[in-house]
């Protein structure tokens, strides 16, 4: 129930704010396709960037024995096994709500750096410093992609596939 409330606020909070300020939420939040080919190409390039940067972060933190992503893996596996419906919900709905709030809404108001830091802090509940750092860095990549494209569709697609790849590699 908490997840539903969080996602409701992440999606409808910004939409309501934009409606009250007489702005078009779909346009302001970048929720319009630019064409299947363009959106998929941008998503693919963004996904490659996310994976490469993630691998670099993992390699560097492992080299210096700072990698504590096992905490994230434990939490993800527990959720996957104990609540598969909630797990699937988080892989789909949570990604959409995160992109709407952190990129579509916050980037234009506090900038890509501020939005990336807030995104990283939102991942603190995993108890992993590397997760928070990685979320800040990858959130920055997603934020810059949104600034460049003005479109959340590639972000949503790349973010979903990235999370799915991460989960599959944990099994």
* 143-161 tens-digit pLDDT: 999 999 999 999 999 999 9
Percent of residues in the chain assigned helix, strand, coil, to nearest 5: 85, 0, 15
Q: Is the pTM of this model over 0.85?
A: yes
Q: Cα(69)–Cα(30) distance, rounded to whole angstroms?
A: 32
Q: What percent of the chain has pLDDT over 90?
A: 84
Burial of 66 (0-12, 13-18, 19+ CB in 10 A): exposed
Question: What residues contact 51, with CB distance under 8 A and at least 6 apart?
Answer: 162, 165
Q: What is the dihedral of CA 81, 86, 88, 89, to 10 degrees?
A: -170
Do 153 and 40 contact (CB within 8 A), yes or no?
no
Give 108's Cβ-side CA count (13 Å radius): 17
The 10s digit of each residue's pLDDT in 66-118 is: 999 999 999 899 988 998 998 899 999 999 999 999 999 999 999 999 999 99
């Amino acid at each position: 129930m908490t997840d539903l409330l969080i996602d409701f606020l992440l999606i409808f909070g910004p939409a309501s704010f934009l409606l009250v300020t007489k702005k078009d939420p779909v346009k302001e939040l970048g929720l319009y396709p630019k064409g299947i080919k363009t959106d998929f190409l941008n998503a693919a390039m963004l996904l490659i960037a996310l994976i490469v940067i993630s691998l670099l972060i993992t390699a560097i933190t492992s080299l210096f024995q700072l990698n504590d992503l096992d905490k994230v893996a434990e939490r993800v596996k527990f959720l996957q096994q104990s609540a598969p419906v909630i797990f699937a919900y988080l892989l789909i709905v949570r990604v959409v709500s995160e992109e709407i709030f952190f990129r579509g809404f916050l980037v234009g108001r506090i900038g890509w750096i501020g939005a990336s830091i807030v995104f990283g802090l939102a991942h603190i509940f995993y108890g992993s410093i590397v997760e928070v750092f990685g979320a800040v860095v990858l959130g920055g990549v997603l934020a810059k992609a949104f600034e460049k494209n003005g479109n959340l569709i590639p972000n949503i697609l790349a973010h979903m596939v990235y999370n799915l790849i991460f989960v599959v590699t944990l099994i």
